[in-house]
Chains A and B, each alone.
Chain A
């Protein structure tokens, strides 16, 4: 199974991004539980999300999710289809390219949107 992976880089980054997203999920659900308590509580949480620190965090999160999601689909394809297993190296580079492009475009729009 380890053969399917395009090197150590993807393998370790999949774990790092997975754990990072779980940490975000802890934070996100905690935020949801506060936001569900009426309009004032909702506004307070949203106001915090609009500070530069949170917005920078969101850009990092975008990168983590893009990598984990796209690399995850590549892993699944490689494990279930012969075609993707044979084309694994190409698919890995395609995945990196896709993650890179989507990240740059997404980060641009996120940062440009007014706080």
Chain B
């Protein structure tokens, strides 16, 4: 197995272990801090200078509170960087994994190479879309 050689094999383990830690943090942030714990994220969104303004906006319009919570989180470049790294590791690990499966199961050379290229291209495009979404996130606060 693993036509990518031992370096690809090792990177799959390293990215898997990092994803384990980072996904835990990701779920905690997006499903707990931004949900039930409401404004608990304030303590980690220290990069934002306008947290009080965000909080006032959220109180004025509770239906938008998740949006303002995200704006507060992303006001801190550390959390933007965290998401960029997470997207990078996730797309790398996931699409390298698909590539391994293709190499294991597809015996026909041309078909296998074509499938691998297709997988790489889809993975790369997805990575770009993800990175652009995070970087360009611009809370339009009135």
Contacts and interface: CB of A to CB of B under 8 A. Distances in A.
Q: Is B truly associated with A?
A: yes
Interface of A: 1, 15, 18-19, 21-22, 25-26, 29-30, 32-33, 35-36, 38-39, 42-43, 46, 65, 69, 72-73, 76, 79-80, 113
14 contacts: A18-B98, A19-B101, A21-B94, A22-B97, A25-B126, A26-B122, A29-B129, A33-B130, A36-B138, A38-B138, A65-B23, A73-B20, A76-B17, A80-B13
A39 B140 contact: yes
B140 A32 contact: no
B129 A30 contact: yes
Contact of B133 (A25, A32, A69): A32
A32 B20 contact: no
Nearest to A1: B1
A69 B23 CA distance: 9
The 5 lowest CB-CB distance pairs between A and B, nearest first, are A22-B94, A36-B137, A29-B130, A36-B133, A33-B133
Contacts of A25: 90-91, 94, 126
B58 to A, nearest CB: 12
B134 A76 contact: no
B95 A38 contact: no
Contacts of A33: 129-130, 132-133
B134 A36 contact: yes
Contacts of B23: 65, 69
Nearest to B136: A36
A32 B94 contact: no
